[in-house]
Amino acid sequence: MILNHPKSQVDKSWSSWVIVLLLLVWIAIAAGLRFTYLAGKPPWSDEFATLVFSLGNSFRSVPLDQVITSDTLLAPLKPNSSASINSVINNLITESNHPPLYFVLTHLWLKLFPGYGELVSLWVARSWSVLLGVISIPAMFGLGWLGFRSSLVGHFAAALMAVSPYGIYLAQEARHYTLGILLVIASVSCLVYATRSLQQQTPLPIYLALIWVIVNSLGIAVHYFFVLVIAAVGMVMLGLRIGSGGSVFSWKYWWRIYAVALGTLMGVLVWLPILPRPSSNRLTEWVHQDTTLSNLLEPVARLFSWLITMVVMLPVEGQSLPIMVASGVVTVILVLLIVQLLRRGLRIQRLHSQTKFMTQVIGGFVVGAIALFLLFTYGLGIDLTLAARYQFVYFPIVIMLLAASFASCWRAAQGKDQQWVA
């Protein structure tokens, strides 16, 4: 559905075929970068577990406290023709701490490629994650257009996502994070539509409310950390509700939002009986950190480093000293440039009521998500900054915020600021 905007909102400088052709270029670049050297690095422990459970196998077939052969150790990686979706779910519930959706989908994906030797193909398993990562490129374009009604913002978002080192890193592992990223994009797209509806004082369509609940429920079924996405969305909506003063955004426009919240809550509560207990699950003990004064700033530094890798990462580890120094200098220069463009873009967007509102929504989500990470780290002693992969919660929305800022700077540089579309 096209929302009502001023006549100047449609970006007339882009013809349809150019938009599609350029989007295909970003998709091709993303696929090329993600498929390159896909099976070059060996699987790490979590990937190993993903492969085993996705095959419907179990680790209990491997004996403990005794010498075993390599064949016995690798037995769980052998395709099992008798394994079913029920096998995948049952083994996950009893032996792991992950929700089952990604593993079930990977199980079905691996069934499509049965003839790859005695052991499961690492390339095939990772290619499923890559495929989901490539799909995120047009998804980001769609979010950019939906939020800012600008193909330029959409293309910046798609291009940044295509070449993001962090996005490539997640896509090249047989893990559930690229599927989680797609659902983050979908949930925030619903948020964008909902806030537009509230701004224009129109009810949220029932079909969209149902889609939103389904997306959030699927998100929890992919990764329990999706609850942080839901919480960040809730913080944005709460901010709008408080900011409205209870007058502009009346009950008749809000009741469907409350229905979405209730439906999402029910989708979350379904998983309570099988949620991992932090006190008894050794698989999650490593995130429980004693944040003493001596390492007080380490989580913030890690968080900043993960943010940097979302847009730039040059070779440093294992390189010669000159290359390390050169990479470090170039990285610092690029980061300073990106920060400058971000600041300038945000200033430009504040000058336009339409882009200002949507920038507040997108920026509010990013700030809320990062605040939740810091709350868990410093308030609860659960350091969510220890692993780069956990930052998938807000990664695509950081890219969207950068894309909107870069697009506004681009138009300002071309003297087309007055034609900026929101």
**Model confidence pLDDT, tens digit, residues 46-82:** 999 999 999 999 888 777 777 777 777 788 889 888 8
What DSSP assignment string belongs to 56-96? Answer: T--GGGS--SS---HHHHHGGGS--TT--HHHHHHHHHHH-
pLDDT in tens, 114-141: 866 688 999 999 999 999 999 999 999 9
Q: What is the predicted pLDDT for the residue at 11?
A: 52
Give the chain's mean pLDDT. Answer: 87
Question: Residue-wise over 368-387: b if at least 16 C-beta within 10 A, else e?
Answer: bbbebbeebbeeeebbbbee
**pLDDT-derived band at 421, boundaries 50, 70, 90:** very low
Long-range contacts of range 33-41, CB-CB < 8 Å, 24 or more positions apart?
A: 33/162, 33/163, 33/168, 34/130, 34/133, 34/134, 34/168, 34/171, 34/172, 35/127, 35/130, 38/123, 38/126, 38/127, 38/130, 38/172, 39/122, 39/123, 39/126
Q: Which range, of 126-130, 327-331, 368-372, 404-408, averages the lowest pLDDT?
A: 327-331
Residue type, 141: F
pLDDT in tens, 237-272: 999 888 766 554 567 788 899 999 999 999 999 887
Half-sphere exposure for 219 (CA within 13 Å, toward CB): 27
How far is residue 197 CA from its own chain's centroid? 24
How far is residue 131 CA from its own chain's centroid? 15
pLDDT in tens, 188-224: 999 999 999 988 888 899 999 999 999 999 999 999 9
